[in-house]
Amino acid sequence: MDLSELEKDNTGRCRLSSPVPAVCCKEPCVLGVDEAGRGPVLGPMVYAICYCPQSRLADLEALKVADSKTLSENERDRLFSKMQEDRDFVGWALDVLSPNLISTSMLGRVKYNLNSLSHDTASGLIQHALDQGVNVTQVFVDTVGLAASYQERLQQRFPDVTVTVKAKADALYPVVSAASICAKVARDQAVKSWQFVEKEQDLDADYGSGYPNDPKTKAWLRRHVEPVFGFPQLVRFSWRTAQAILETEAENVTWEDSALEEQEGSRKITSYFQGEGPQARHPHRYFQERGLEPATAL
């Protein structure tokens, strides 16, 4: 899977898709939707669709696709490669949402929660398939939030398509299982090949599973939190796990209208630039990118 576009810029979102099989434009098709990486504090969330003609659904089932969470990494990679080989009747598309995009959406002035982001991303991928000429007649979706309201929303947007939204759809419908595999393979590859722009921080890739309850992940977050600029862009800084570490490991911010008792013990921002202690602080990339250096005299 070619994620070079994401590697060039992993701050936003990246859409990838296979060529559309000719048969999928002619015959009625089923389409499945699933995601990978909704819960982790590290890395992107990936939404995927997979589609094939209804007449070839048995051929997709014959690949023995299954919920990606029940498969090993090698099994997922093998099945994705097999779907690539069967590109004469199987198509897929992905939307990779960066940690930065997820967190800035959730913490923006106008709140955009993860469920809404997920719903809109799934809708966008279904529309992408239709725009590409895929003759979609049935859609199966693994639910996010209440299945009934989600299904009603999708059905209203796509009135000419029969929509089914169910919990555990990735275990019930092979076309959703296939989408689940595509999403998981893409996310795993994105995390493994993540291009850190924070090169001066001596970042390591020993971050465990990336889930909030993983002690290894928490230890990595504590090692790599910058006291003023926060976390590397691999981190979803809106997650409670990340926020808790910022509260204990990063510098406090005191606003002009803060109560006096809140300001007691707070350090001045100028202390950040003074390189306190036996080792001088290495300049953050914010200063390097802008060619800024400390001024010793005015």
Phi and psi, residue 50, nearest 5°: -135, 145
> 249 a known binding residue?
no
Which residues lie below 8 Å from residue 8, measured CB to CB, with a gap of 6+? none
Closest CA to 171 of 281, 32, 75: 32
Measured in whole angstroms, the distance separating CA 32 from the mean position of its chain's CA atoms is 18
3-state secondary structure of 32: strand
Q: Which among 128, 152, 114, 159 is positioned nearest to 33, based on CA atoms? A: 128
> Would you say 142 is a known binding-site residue?
yes
* Token pair belonging to 276: 């306190």
The helix or strand, by DSSP H or E, that contains position 142, with its residue range, turns out to be strand 136-142
Whether 34 has a binding-site annotation, put simply, is yes
The long-range contacts involving 71-77, CB below 8 angstroms and separated by at least 24 positions, are 71/181, 73/188, 76/181, 76/184, 76/185, 76/188, 77/185
- Going by the DSSP 8-state scheme, the letter that residue 228 receives in this structure is T
Residues making up the binding site: 34-35, 142
Residues making up the binding site for a divalent metal cation: 34-35, 142
